[in-house]
């Protein structure tokens, strides 16, 4: 029986991966996250769960003991509002990846997965709306998102060199805006789909006809539903491909278009947009080119944005009405 360590298991993607593996009795699962257990988005009490800071090498050594495979989702991150205003904190996540790779080498772990980001891509290629999809080669020459993007790009290189020097099999996914239920929807770390769902729900509940939008709403992105993300991640991990690869959708929309979709889902009339041009808004356009992932993994996203947003909206609607705006423990039944 293989032993799998999932770091960042109390977070969004990590929590969904744990949920997937708990349905498969062929693996022994170990979970680690810096958050106290009562703040994990999904928690399985039957598993070995560590609440610890992996920036401490002794903790990394402990959680990787006798582990065969490591999935590293652990990092300090959030939506654009968080990463633009917390660059130093985002950069410190490099210590997590460093310690986990060192511990994996020392404890003779066989395979290592690193969750990277579309924020590694060269900013000069993202100055227009509705751009062509970013290919994996577009990360160089390097000019990534300041702070968070540099940490991800550096950590990608570290994974590569640990593979070259020490023989650890590595897999690197560049995620493009993953969204879905059982994640952050308020508090400052939420990403655009969850934030906009929450704002539309609030407007509906308060019988308000206004919504605040960061920027002018014309900035574009592609968004990938969490179920597709998990499938793509597993295919990559089980493959023999070791270079970074995009895991994303190529269904590119503007923020204004996404608001229209959420309005349709909610059944509300069109809300008045209050554009906040002084708020963080990131690059003008970002889209995933999926040619490589289709070729090497035979994978493509399945969930249309409207369908994924419907599931996300419905979950946030229940949570906001049940808990108000408080974040806390969301245990998937």
User: Could you tell me if 110 and 189 lie in one domain?
Assistant: no
For residue 73, being part of any structural domain is answered with: yes
* Structural tokens at position 327: 């974040």
Looking at the annotation, which residues are catalytic?
A: 148
Q: Give residues with Cβ within 8 angstroms of 284, minimum separation 6.
A: 126, 127, 128, 129, 131, 218, 219, 220
Phi and psi at 193, nearest 5°, equal -60, -45
Give the range of the structural domain holding residue 206, as residue numbers without chain letter: 179-221+252-288+303-323
Q: Are residues 52 and 136 in the same domain?
A: yes
167 shares its domain with 184? no
CA distance 220 to 12: 23
Say yes or no: 193 and 172 in one domain.
Answer: no
Q: Are residues 140 and 274 in the same domain?
A: no
Whether residues 262 and 241 fall in one domain: no
In a shared domain, residues 124 and 183: no
pLDDT of residue 128: 97
In a domain, 200, yes or no: yes
Within this chain, do residues 280 and 158 fall inside the same structural domain, yes or no? no
Q: What is the pLDDT of residues 149-193, one digit of tens each?
A: 999 999 999 999 999 999 999 999 999 999 999 999 999 899 999
Residue 333 lies in a domain: no
DSSP code at position 285:
B
Give the domain CATH number at 192: 3.90.25.10
pLDDT of residue 324: 55
Tell me the mean pLDDT in the region 224-241: 98
Mean pLDDT of 57-62: 98
Do 37 and 97 lie in one domain? The reply is: yes
**What CATH number does the domain containing 122 carry?**
3.40.50.720
Give the model confidence (pLDDT) of 260-278 as tens digits. 999 999 999 899 999 999 9
Per-residue pLDDT tens over the stretch 252-262:
999 999 999 99
Q: Tell me, what DSSP letter sits at residue 88?
A: H
In the chain, the number of structural domains is 2
The answer to whether position 128 is within a domain reads yes
Task: Convert the pLDDT of each residue in 279-332 to its tens digit.
Answer: 999 999 999 999 999 999 999 999 999 999 999 999 999 999 886 544 333 333
| 268 and 238 part of one domain | no
Q: How far apart are CA 311 and CA 276, in angstroms?
A: 27
Number of Cβ within 10 Å of residue 154's Cβ equals 17
Q: Are residues 128 and 217 in the same domain?
A: no
Q: How confident is the model at residue 333 (pLDDT cuts 50, 70, 90)?
A: very low
Across the chain, mean pLDDT equals 95
């Amino acid at each position: 029986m293989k032993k799998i360590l999932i770091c960042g298991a109390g977070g969004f993607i990590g929590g969904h991966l744990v949920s997937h593996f708990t349905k498969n009795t062929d693996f022994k699962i170990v979970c680690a996250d810096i958050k106290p257990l009562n703040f994990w988005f999904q928690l399985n009490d039957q598993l070995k769960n560590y609440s610890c800071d992996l920036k401490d090498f002794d903790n990394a050594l402990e959680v990787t003991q006798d582990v065969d495979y490591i999935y590293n989702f652990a990092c300090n991150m959030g939506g654009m509002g968080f990463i633009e205003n917390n660059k130093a904190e985002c950069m410190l996540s490099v210590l997590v990846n460093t310690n986990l790779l060192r511990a994996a080498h020392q404890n003779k772990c066989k395979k290592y997965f690193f969750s990277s980001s579309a924020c590694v891509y060269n900013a000069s290629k993202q100055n227009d709306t509705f751009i062509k999809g970013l290919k994996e080669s577009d990360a160089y020459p390097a000019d990534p998102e300041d702070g968070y993007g540099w940490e991800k790009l550096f950590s990608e290189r570290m994974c590569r060199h640990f593979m070259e020097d020490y023989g650890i099999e590595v897999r690197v996914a560049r995620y493009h805006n993953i969204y879905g239920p059982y994640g952050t929807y308020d508090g400052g770390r939420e990403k655009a789909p969850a934030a906009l769902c929450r704002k539309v729900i609030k407007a509906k509940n308060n019988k308000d006809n206004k919504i605040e939008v960061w920027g002018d709403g014309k900035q574009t992105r592609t968004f990938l539903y969490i179920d597709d993300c998990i499938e793509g991640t597993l295919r990559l991990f089980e493959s023999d491909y070791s270079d970074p690869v995009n895991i994303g959708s190529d269904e590119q929309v503007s923020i204004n278009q996404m608001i229209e979709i959420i309005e349709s889902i909610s059944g509300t009339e069109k809300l008045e947009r209050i554009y906040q041009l002084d708020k963080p808004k990131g690059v003008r356009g970002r889209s995933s080119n999926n040619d490589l992932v289709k070729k090497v993994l035979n994978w493509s996203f399945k969930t249309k944005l409207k369908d994924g947003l419907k599931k996300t909206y419905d979950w946030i609607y229940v949570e906001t009405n049940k808990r108000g705006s408080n974040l806390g423990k969301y245990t998937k039944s």
